[in-house]
Amino acid sequence: MVGPSGSGKTLLVQTLAKLINVPLAISDATSLTEAGYVGEDVENVISRLLVAADGDVELAEKGIVYIDEIDKICRKGENVSITRDVSGEGVQNSLLKIIEGSKVSVPPVGTRKTPGSRKNTMIDTSNILFICGGAFESLYRANKEKSNTIGFNSISNEVKNNEPEITADNLVKAGLTPELVGRLSTRVRLNSLKNEDLVKILTDPKDSIIQEYKELLKKALTHTSYAYEHGIESNEKLEFLGDSILEFVSSIYLYNNYPNLKEGEMTKVRATVVCETSLHKIAQMHGFSDFLYLGKSERTTNKEVRPAILADSVEAVIAAIYLDGGLEEAKKFIIENLKEPIEVASKHVGQKDYKTVLQEKLQKHGEVEIKYTIINETGPDHDKTFEAQVEYNGKKLAVGEGKSKKLAEMEAARKALQNIK
């Protein structure tokens, strides 16, 4: 088999072995040397086949041996070498003996059936299928040079596509010995995979990896109301897992980046950033409401998606990211979205908030009425800005802005404190 890296040579052999239910041994030709030299003896490819057959000699004698990177042991030129080439031409000559059909004495290899056996095993290679594969880049380079010719030397489709013809002469020119080429009577070329081929591999199979990712994400965004109506699984289990991952990652981040915070303070900061309000904001920022699967009853009852549902969906998506890409990918998503809220919360932990300070200051001389009112909101749903006004016994004290109603009220209280000093 001749084809560039990634064209599916190894997968094709593995699939063939699985379909006909025979043992398969895969060896890299670059590690092979003639017997007696540093490296792996050629006979070891048969030893691997016996191991794959779990020590069953009869089964091994009907198996498949795939020797990959065969082009890496080609001769450097077309002329026969006058010096000893123990890892190139020498290996090709050694392979001839086992490929053409002979009885090979295999050194003892411990298997489940014959643990620690000291006696050599004789394997008849006559019915073993030998397959060799390689990229043979020299053939592609030579073919590309042909494509640059002009005149009456017609350029075939083979040359135009830079896909070389796999003839015996071309393989010999590439450095395989004529004897080995003669034993490999069936020659197949695997073309380079194009972008559209890669897309098909990812999307066409029934159990394709892309389909798996889609199903996982869909489950993460499936509310119980929709799941109940359609008889499918909701995101509740993913939400459970995501909640644990969120708490774990935020705890590690606080421990590593805020060494001056006490245990109780870290607990308060974590509680602030993983609460419903914080997660709801993340969901709004990423537009989760546009992709949630909600049941008819939920959509009919509530014009807008409830904050609790959006917050839960964030935890479920975190779990989906973890199951898909591992902890590091889940950590990236969490830290990217919580880094700033953690920074803000850590600065104010242990301090009285502005609303509390304002209330204590105004109540020094008796009970007073303090009222906060949201007087304006601007921006899209996922990035709103709120404007809050604080009044003292009906008298306007200050107006503040913030990305949430709570932050707007806090800013109004801060400005009010400045005004009454």
Query: What is the CA 164 to chain-centroid distance, rounded?
Result: 34
- Tell me which of 40, 315, 387, 411 is the catalytic residue: 315
- Which tokens in the block code for residue 202? 């990812």
> Distance between CA 400 and CA 414 in Å, rounded?
8
Q: How far, in Å, are 94, 371, 417 from residue 355 at the CA level?
A: 86, 11, 9
Question: Residue 312 in contact with residue 235, Cβ under 8 Å?
Answer: yes
**Closest to 134 (Cα-Cα) out of 10, 316, 24:** 10
Task: Respond yes or no: is residue 169 known to be catalytic.
Answer: no
Burial 193-226 (b: 16+ CB within 10 A, else e): eeeeeeeeeeeeeeeeeeeeeeebbebbbbbbbb
H/E stretch holding 171 reads helix 168-174
- Based on its alpha-carbon atoms, the radius of gyration of the chain, rounded to whole angstroms, reads 35
Question: How many C-beta atoms lie closer than 10 Å to residue 286's C-beta?
Answer: 17
Q: What is the DSSP string of 333-397?
A: HHHHHHHHHHHHHHHHTTSPPHHHHHHHHHGGGS---EEEEEEEEES-GGG-EEEEEEEETTEEE
Question: How many C-beta atoms lie closer than 10 Å to residue 357's C-beta?
Answer: 15
Task: Respond yes or no: is residue 315 known to be catalytic.
Answer: yes
- Tell me which of 68, 243, 298, 411 is the catalytic residue: 243
Please, what is the Cα angle at 366 between 357 and 420, to 5 degrees? 45
Annotated catalytic sites, by residue? 243, 315
